[in-house]
Amino acid sequence: MSELIGWLGPAWLMVKAAHVIIVIFWIAGLFMLPRYLAYQAETEPGAAEDLHWRQRTRRIRRIILDPAMLLAWLLGLALAFNHGFAGAYWLHAKLLLVLLLSIYQLWIVSVAGRMQCGIRPLSSRALRIANEVPGIATIAIVILAVVRPF
Applying CB under 6 A, the residues found at the interface with ligand HEM are 3, 16, 19-20, 23, 27, 72-73, 76-77, 79-80, 82-83, 91, 95, 98, 138, 141-142, 145-146
Q: Cβ closer to ligand HEM: 60 or 98?
A: 98
Which residue number has the CB closest to ligand HEM?
76
Q: Cβ closer to ligand HEM: 95 or 130?
A: 95
For helices 48-59 and 89-116, the axis angle rounded to 10 degrees is 150
Q: Cβ closer to ligand HEM: 102 or 124?
A: 102
Write down the least CB distance from residue 75 to ligand HEM, Å.
8
Alpha carbon distance 37, 53 (integer Å): 8
Tell the burial category of 21 from Cβ atoms under 10 Å away from its Cβ (0-12, 13-18, 19+).
middle
Write down the least CB distance from residue 115 to ligand HEM, Å.
25
